[in-house]
Amino acid sequence: MASKILLSLAIFAAACSSIALASDPSPLQDFCVADTENPVKVNGFVCKDPMQVNADDFFASGLQTPAEIKKDVGSGVKPINVNNLHGLNTLGISMVRIDFVPQGINAPHTHPRATEILTLLEGTLLVGFVSSNQDGNRLFSKVLYKGDVFVFPEGMVHFQQNVGYENAVAIAALSSQNPGVITIGDTVFGSEPAISIDILAKAFQTHAHIIAAIQAKF
């Protein structure tokens, strides 16, 4: 009986450990401003000498101006994360501004390390995410208007589209200092080296020449 209890406790401890490691590391001091010049590589960034830290390490500007629009998708993203706001290191949060022209999209993508919560400031957006295979790949979608909020769970493929007649602007917060982004089209059709056309043709149940034509666009 005692051995079974010990085994159960060991399994529980391992599970708790894996859960704890599934998010950004918690700070063990007031702050750990990223020292991006330090050659030491860790999971995140080495801390800057706290005596050399000043207010500018916790400050960023630029979200008052629109992001540069990518013509192929009709949207632009301006991020604020640990790479351009070093005070975010170990704090587990970042944000983005997203601008859309009419009918512009933020193409289907995932954030492998973060949940995203989006607030629409101007315009009308169609947003949604698709659940995992285990959940049946269900689509959860909603049209947002000014002031509306929508959350995209961590790792879920999600998208936004401006379905209004005016430009749209959104601000989103993400639960990681460096959430990462995997754009589905770029990843599947634009990898280097390319994924085998035969594999993609079978995966998408289409002809090889169609896959080749799509790959050529990336």
Percent of the chain with pLDDT over 70: 89
Using pLDDT thresholds of 50, 70 and 90, give the confidence band for residue 216: very high
Predicted model pTM: 0.85
Q: Provide the pLDDT for residue 23.
A: 60
| Token pair listed for 41 | 């590589």
Domains of the chain: 55-180 (2.60.120.10), 182-217 (no CATH)
Say how far apart CA 109 and CA 130 lie, in whole Å: 10
pLDDT tens-digit map of 179-197: 999 999 999 999 999 999 9
For residue 150, how many C-alpha atoms fall within 13 Å in the half-sphere facing its CB? Answer: 20
pLDDT of 25 over the 80 cut: no
**pLDDT band per the 50, 70, 90 thresholds, residue 87:** very high
Q: What percent of the chain has pLDDT over 90?
A: 83
Distance CA 117, CA 205 (A): 34
CB 181 within 8 A of CB 98: no
| Rounded distance between C-alpha atoms, residue 80 and residue 177, angstroms | 9
- Given this model, what pLDDT does residue 51 score? 95
pLDDT surpassing 70 at residue 89:
yes
| Separation between Cα atoms, residue 159 and residue 19, nearest integer Å | 27
Asked which of 34-48, 54-68, 70-84, 134-148 is least confident by mean pLDDT, the reply is 34-48
111 is in an annotated binding site: yes
Query: Which tens digit of pLDDT belongs to each residue from 55-73?
Result: 999 999 999 999 999 999 9
Tell me if 209 is assigned to a ligand binding site. no
Exposed, middle or buried: residue 90 (CB in 10 Å: 0-12, 13-18, 19+)? buried
- Is 116 within any annotated ligand binding site? yes
Examine the pLDDT at 30 and tell me if it is beyond 50. Answer: yes
Is 122 annotated to bind ligand? no
Which one has a higher pLDDT value, 63 or 11?
63
Task: Determine whether the annotation assigns residue 207 to a binding site.
Answer: no
User: What tens digit of pLDDT does each residue of 41-52 get?
Assistant: 888 899 999 999
